[in-house]
Amino acid sequence: MTKKLTAALLAAVLLIALCAAASAEATTYYVTSRRLNVREGGGTDFDIIGSVSYGQKVEVYAIYHGWAIIEYKEGDYGTGYVSAKCISRTKPTGDYYSGSNVTSGNYRSFTHNEYYVIVNPANNYVNMRWEASKSAPVRRVYYYGAQLKVISENAYWCQVMDESSGEVGFILKSLLLRTTGVPAGSAENG
């Protein structure tokens, strides 16, 4: 069975389960990237059916294997799929389009790599930003010793996840210190 067919069948089963649940409700999230593709299925090998923009509110029915099933009522579609890494339950602050914050080139050099870090600021705190740019709006502030999980990186930036809140953002790599092992209380510890 092909990867695309397997993913489509899995998505169909998930949607049926969601529809069957009488109490299934959508949760509001916000888009955290400049432009986020909406796809027919949960994977980059599925066709793009549209897009949503930075700060736009989306209703999420479920998140599975890094893909969120959203309400998407464009054309003949009722749902679509977006990367779960590019949405947040917290509404972005600031206007993404107010300057030339980020270019698509910033993400070409990012590679998937998972490990844990602690915040190690030169001053009192570190800014987690919405995008990999010093001029991008600040999403959260972290102080020395906060534990985060790196999910992708390039030479200068780490895309990190705060496992306690589910927030995802970007922090300069030079302000993070790699740790060994998995933090106590992590889902990976059981």
Here the tokens at position 105 are: 């080139």
Average pLDDT over residues 176-190: 63
Same domain membership, residue 142 and residue 77 = no
Do 110 and 63 have their domain in common? Answer: no
| Residue-range definition of the domain harbouring residue 170 | 105-185
Q: Are residues 73 and 133 in the same domain?
A: no
The count of structural domains within the chain is 2
d(CA 72, CA 51): 10
180 shares a domain with 123: yes
- Domain co-membership, 165 together with 138: yes
pLDDT at 5: 62
Q: Is the per-residue pLDDT at 30 higher than 80?
A: yes
Q: Is the pLDDT of residue 29 over 50?
A: yes
**80 inside domain:** yes
* Mean pLDDT within 53-61: 87
Kindly state the tokens that stand for 35.
């432009």
pTM across the whole model: 0.49
pLDDT at position 102, please? Answer: 39
**Is residue 100 in a domain?**
no
Q: What pLDDT does 123 receive? A: 78
What distance in Å separates the CA atoms of residue 164 and residue 154, rounded to the nearest whole number? 24
pLDDT at site 124: 84
Q: For residues 7 and 84, state if they share a domain.
A: yes
- pLDDT exceeds 50 at position 23: no
CATH classification of the domain holding 142: 2.30.30.40
Residues 8 and 76 in one domain: yes
Q: Which of 102, 93, 66, 95 is closest to 81 using CA atoms?
A: 66
Range of lowest pLDDT (11-15, 19-23, 35-39, 131-135): 19-23
Closest CA to 179 of 149, 141, 140, 144: 149
Flag whether 29 is in a domain.
yes
